[in-house]
Structure 1
Amino acid sequence: MKTQTTVQQQPAVNSSSPLVQVSGALTVIILFILLAAWLAKRFGLTGRTGAAKGLKISAGCSLGPRERVVVVDVEDARLVLGVTATQITHLHTLPPAPASVDPKPVEPVDFQSLMKNLLKRNGKA
């Protein structure tokens, strides 16, 4: 008589294993972070780098599809620059912008007087 032995083959990776579940969750999280970083970079949500700290574009005007005139504020002057797809040309130097004067600080108004003014304006009081 011949005896048959059956051999059960177990799958190479058990999908209910905690190791598989954790690594799958980590893969999804890493892919989500990469996608969020790409979207932030694509739509300009990232902060400016420290290289352009002293520069600020205060005005600009488009002259064509790839030509612009911009006014750049630097530490002690304002530069008028012509910008194209291939070069940047210095057109003029302006004196520094006057320091902006802060308007008078507005005194806080209490809620009661604010409501009275609103009701008077609407003709209800």
Structure 2
Amino acid sequence: MKSSTQPLQSMPSSPAVPSAGSMLTQVSSVLAFIVLLILACAWLARRCGFAPRRVSSQSLNVSASVSIGQRERVVIVDVDDARLVLGVTAQHITHLHTLPPKAPDPQSEPMATADFRHLLQTFLKRSGKSQ
């Protein structure tokens, strides 16, 4: 038997190892996408009413406001022991008058913090999908 030797053929090449730069680019782009996705979900939650509203301070509250020019306003601010009538412009805030404190309404009760179940029911009723 005659043995014939064939020339070595090129071996199948192994898969190319990605460079560190391309891997870093992929990881950073995925991370940026995840951060943007989280921000979009937070914006959507606030827009749909899932996020709790910021509770304003009860010691300082703007109860009325009226515009008297392009940038001029008269506002009534409720504080703990008085109501202040203020003139507000782009540059200054001027105290115009002090009113006696407003009598508390017996019917108005502080709104309790809504739990998730109540928020979900409110959202479903608003979108018309309630059962």
Shorter-chain TM-score: what band? 0.5 to 0.7
Q: Which runs of 5+ in 1 are unaligned?
A: 14-19, 104-125
RMSD, aligned CA:
3.8
- The offset of 1:35, in angstroms, is 2.9
Q: 1:46 to 1:86 in 2, by over 3 A?
A: farther
Question: Judging changes above 3 Å, is the alpha-carbon distance between structure 1 residues 85 and 29 closer, same or farther for their aligned structure 2 residues?
Answer: same
1:93 to 93, 98, 111: 98
Gaps of 5+ in 2: 1-5, 20-25, 109-131
TM-score (norm 1): 0.52
Letter in 2 for 1:10: A
Matched, 1:58 2:63: yes
1:48 equivalent to 2:54? Answer: yes
The TM-score normalised by the length of structure 2 is 0.50
Q: C-alpha offsets along residues 26-71 of structure 1, whole Å, 9 cap, x if unaligned?
A: 6544312223445749xxx774367x44111111101122211100
Between 1 and 2, higher relative CO (CA 8 Å, sep ≥ 6) is seen in 2
The alignment partner of 1:58 has SS state of strand
% identity of equivalent residues: 48
1:23-42 mapped onto 2 (5 Å cutoff): 24=30, 28-37=33-42, 40=46
